[in-house]
Amino acid sequence: MKDSIKKNMGKILIWGTVAFFTILYFSLIFNKNVWTDEVFTFDLLRYDLKGIVEKTAEDVHPPLYYFYAKIFELISPQNIQIQKIAAILPMAAILVYMGVVIKKEFGEAQAFLSILFLACLPCTMEFAVQIRMYSLALFFVTLAGIEGYRAYIHEDIKHWIFMGIGVLGAAYTHYFAFVSVCFVMFFLLVAILISKKKLVKNWLICSLVLLIGYTPWLPSFVKQYTSVRESYWIPPITGEVLKSYITWTFGLELVKGVEIAYLILLTIVFVWACMGVKKKGIRFAILCMLVPTATTVSGVLISLTKSPIYRDQYVLPALGLLATYVGIVCADKLKSKAKYLVVLFVLFMLFSGAVQYKECFRQEYKSSYIDKTMEFFEDNLGENDYVIYNYRAMGFVYKFYFPEDRLIYVEDFDLSSDYDNAWFLYTLNNWPVTENDCINYNLGMEYLGVYGIEHNDFDLYRIYHN
């Protein structure tokens, strides 16, 4: 029995890690809270496929994720849990894919360490359950990068096809995922020109097919890129913004400064990579690291020279390749004196993952009054009631939770109209319902306590006719 366990320890670690983190992701989906971008997803899913194309052509992301999410929308319309499962599936697929392919190409230790790094990264654990396109984009970029390597090594057409699927999938899912796979294709071409010139023809054919495949969306991409203005909502690039990129990717809310430990870790890994650069696997790993690096640098440069279009989370689709880089390089040191540092790396990642899971659990279940709020309105919102609010920016989110025909901005609400109750969500200092209004319209007003939706808390009042 012990010999069998020892013999299969690599497989146990790989698949135990995959199963464990998939279960952790699923444990975070049983809540009623969605944030503004997730509400935007649900809003788009109300349209048919033609409507999704038209709306995304006017937005900042391509349509493929919404097509994917629409399948789950057909199963159960406007269902938070179903859409969170849709987000988890690509994340779980990445872990499975890495467990199979990295193990096959490089070894069990490389696969385990890559999976562990990706699964424990603070940002990936948070975004794995978000009802957005990031986990799907992460899957496609990881697929494109690793299958590009396999196409180069094995010269098998099936790997060119899989790489193409990854490239086109990324391009139709997220614009900076598109940037990342463009760098994948560029680095593959460099490798080919250096040592396998016979594959140039394959690369050119593949690139032509991919260009044709992206041609239907190219006008929308060009239109959206050229229409970005200086007043665009993404903040301009400053020193603090650059620092926030690191904090967002590697920082922990509950342990301040842990991003410094990540930077030290990545510096050590980089030194190790430079020491082993003559090894084929290490060279591939370095190219993997260059993809998220080049994606971020290009995003920053474009933002500096044109308008701010790059933000912290746009590197997330390329982090599967960063994890591949870290796993391959660290595993290479397991048979050297540096193996104890690799053990420390494993312990640090487990610590980081545990702390971030605690924070994600808090965010999903304890960071807002959503359960209390929804329970109250399920019990008290009558057919002749209205929900009125004074924080105009939150109207987009409120309409996900309340009947749209009975949700009204307070300044547009006629206090003298016929209603049983007007439930007033009071936020900030805009108080348009005065004491004279109550007297003139013979209204009563009752304070009910603090409630909230998303991360917006409000005082709840009941307004009624005496």
What one-character-per-residue DSSP string does 180-226 give? HHHHHHHHHHHHHHHH-GGGHHHHHHHHHHHHHHHGGGHHHHHHHHH
Share of the chain above pLDDT 90, in %: 78
Residue-wise pLDDT for 185-204, tens only, equals 999 999 999 999 999 999 99
pLDDT at res. 435: 73
Q: Return the closest-CA partner of residue 135 out of 165, 104, 92, 100.
A: 92
CA angle 92, 309, 40 (to 5 degrees): 55
pLDDT at res. 223: 80
Mean pLDDT rounded to a whole number for the chain: 92
Which pLDDT band holds residue 243 (cuts at 50, 70, 90)? very high
Task: Show Cβ contacts of residue 288 under 8 Å, excluding neighbours closer than 6 positions.
Answer: 145, 321, 322, 324, 325, 328
pLDDT at res. 6: 66
Q: Treating both helix axes as pointing N-terminal to C-terminal, what angle do 134-154 and 157-171 enclose, rounded to 10 degrees?
A: 160
Residue 231 has pLDDT above 50, yes or no: no
pLDDT at res. 350: 96
Residue 20 has pLDDT above 50, yes or no: yes
How long is the chain? 466
Residue-wise pLDDT for 336-347, tens only, equals 888 999 999 999
What tokens were used for 380? 């008290």
pLDDT at res. 190: 96
Residue 37 has pLDDT above 80, yes or no: yes
pLDDT at res. 310: 87
